[in-house]
Chain A
Amino acid sequence: MSVAVIVSPAIMVFLWMLSLSLKNEIDNLAYPPVFIPSPPTLSNFVQVFADNSMGLYFWNSVVVSGLGTLIALLVGIPAGYGIARAQAHKLTVMILIARMTPALSYLIPLFTVFQFFGLNNTLTALVIAHLVITVPIVVYIMAGYFETLPKELEEAALIDGGSVWTTFRYVALPLARPGIVVGTILSFIFSWNNFVFGAVLAGRATRTLPAAVYNVLTFEQLAWGPLAAAALVVTIPVLLLTIVIQKEIVVGLTAGGVKGA
């Protein structure tokens, strides 16, 4: 009983989003509200993809979050390893501070610099800005994961004459795959959910999905069906990814705050 009370608000909002997205506009504005779409229609989804270039924005988001995450993995996995093995824990304090800083405060200097280089409205600028989100989370997750790996195998490889690099590449890295999966997914989700960078740095054609859903749909029309459909298109990939890493999410969301709890 008590479980039903606390779980229902969580699911209701999503069900209402789904309901709005599957109804025609007349039912969406009816009062009292129509809860079950009858018959359900996909026209709202067709409309946002056909008339509002939702496909392009979806692709922009995939490119920005994908490249942002890829670069973060390239620099973040070795960094996590270095921090774990050199016991450079002070560097993780950086993550805490980076997490405390509002995203908007990076945006003002980045916007000014991008303006100077003529990079505003480009996907390049967005990818660079998204590194603010992706790099700290990947470093944090990887440093934590490498800490948990036993050092004995690496010691053995080093004594057998392996260099630090080959030990990392052929011993530690393959073992770190679960950590890499979590780091990749969290980094992708955080980047995907970001709104302000896209809202400020992107132009009409380079907007990421959250920025596009807000700017395009709310300014060009106030129809609820397409808006709900677009909101669902943004959210579904995240919810699917969330299922994959259920248990580790809390580690990512509390990054920098939980150590020593």
Chain B
Amino acid sequence: MSAVATARPGFLARRQRSYFLFIVPALLVVGAVIIFPWLFTLWMSAFDWKIGTTPHFVGLDNYAKLAANTRFHEAVGHTLYFTVLAVIFPLVLGTVAALIFHREFPFRGVLRSIFTMPMMATPVAVALVWTMMFHPQQGVLNYLLSLVGLPPSLWVYSPTLVIPSLVLVEIWHWTPLVMLIVLGGLAALPIEPYESARLDGASEWQLFRYITFPLVAPFIVVAAVIRTIDAIKAFDTIYVISQGGPGTASETINLYLYLQAFAFYNVGNASAVVVVFFALILALAMLLLYVRQRTKWT
């Protein structure tokens, strides 16, 4: 026993080293497919480089061009517009859905499973079905509008409606995730405050406003962080449904990036877009994490 005890410190140090050996293979893979692409992107962004031509070093020229590029500015605007809508609606609807699913009712488990189905469905497959539903002549959505007496809509064929229409798909796709996160928060709520508040004659709305909401707020913020990161990166559905059109009406940063890189093979310029895009995502995530810290203290 005492032999083990004296050998312990060296033991631990050696064990700690062995544990790091476990991580090495994964670190090599991550280094090759994740870290290296980051650094390579940063490097490429300093070159005037089209695939198949010789790269020329241009320093920060690609960034300067982006700063003056109105099409890029519009893409940033579209991205922010899309992101704000695609965060707020799923957050509100997902929270309402979580409150509904928090109660007991028959077939709750089955209905919850059905409600969460969209979340995992392959985005391209979902996007194709929505494309058919959005069709102005044969689409089922305009038929549904006509049933309730509303005029047909152009949906994704209208420059002003395309982003809200794409957000509709995003809402359908991702509200379940918000619901599940908030539901997790609701499940952890203590019972006591409700009992004493009810004794004091609090209404259902007051219970929600002053007890439930403050307690689940941190979960809603987590959902907001995840939703923001995902919405700002949205690509598959936009690419399949509208290709950034009509014109450039729904061209987000990601769509612009795709065109630069894989239609024009302008990798230098595209890499600069990636760096700016990443900085934007990082800034938004930081902002939300800061909000999250704040909500923890109050």
- Residue numbers of A with Cβ under 8 A of B are 2-3, 6-7, 9-11, 13-14, 16-17, 20, 28-33, 71, 74-76, 78-79, 81-83, 85-86, 88, 91, 94, 98-113, 115, 128-129, 131-132, 135-136, 139, 158-159, 163-165, 168, 189, 192-193, 195-196, 200, 209-211, 213-214, 218, 224, 227-228, 230-232, 234-235, 238-239, 241-243, 246, 249-250, 253-254, 257-258, 261
Contact = CB atoms under 8 A, between A and B. Distances in A.
A79 B37 contact: no
Nearest to B113: A246
B265 to A, nearest CB: 9
B181 A110 contact: no
A257 B220 CA distance: 12
Interface size class of chain B, counting residues whose CB lies under 8 Å from the partner chain: 35 or more
A85 B19 contact: yes
A200 B262 contact: yes
Given A102-B277, A108-B261, A17 B129 contact: yes
Given A33-B140, A200-B262, A234-B124, A132 B236 contact: no
Contact of B51 (A13, A115, A227): A115
A14 B97 CA distance: 19
23 contacts: A10-B172, A10-B176, A33-B143, A71-B29, A75-B29, A78-B26, A86-B23, A101-B34, A102-B235, A104-B258, A105-B38, A110-B37, A135-B26, A165-B18, A195-B124, A196-B235, A213-B124, A231-B122, A238-B120, A241-B120, A249-B120, A254-B177, A261-B185
B26 A76 contact: yes
A158 B11 CA distance: 10
Interface stretch (B56-64, B83-91, B192-200, B278-286): B278-286
Contact of A235 (B37, B44, B122, B184): B122
B25 A78 contact: yes
Given A13-B118, A99-B229, A228-B132, A132 B123 contact: no
Contacts of B51: 112, 115
List the 5 closest pairs (A to B, CB-CB), nearest first.
Answer: A82-B22, A79-B26, A231-B125, A86-B19, A109-B37
A7 B44 contact: no
A224 B130 CA distance: 12
B219 interface: yes
B129 A105 contact: no
A6, A28, A94, A196 — which one has the most chain B CB atoms within 10 A of its CB?
Answer: A6
A105 B23 contact: no
B218 interface: yes
| Prevailing SS type, chain A contact patch | helix
Interface stretch (B66-74, B157-165, B267-275): B267-275
A231 B282 contact: no
A113 B40 contact: yes
Contact of A6 (B113, B115, B218, B240): B115
Given A82-B22, A235-B125, A100 B285 contact: yes
A86 B226 contact: no
Interface of B: 4, 15-16, 18-23, 25-30, 33-34, 36-38, 40-41, 44, 51, 93, 96-97, 100-101, 105, 111, 113-126, 128-130, 132-133, 137-138, 140, 143, 172, 176-177, 180-181, 184-185, 218-219, 222, 225-226, 229, 233, 235-236, 239-240, 254, 257-258, 261-262, 267, 270-271, 274, 277-278, 281-282, 285
A105 B270 CA distance: 9
Contact of A135 (B29, B44, B101, B133): B29
B128 A214 contact: yes
Contact of A227 (B128, B218, B225, B277): B128
Given A10-B114, A29-B138, A239-B121, A108 B22 contact: no
Contact of A242 (B4, B33, B117, B262): B117
B282 A100 contact: yes
A253 B223 CA distance: 11
A112 B281 CA distance: 24
A252 to B, nearest CB: 10
A261 B132 contact: no
Given A20-B129, A75-B26, A86-B20, A108 B33 contact: no
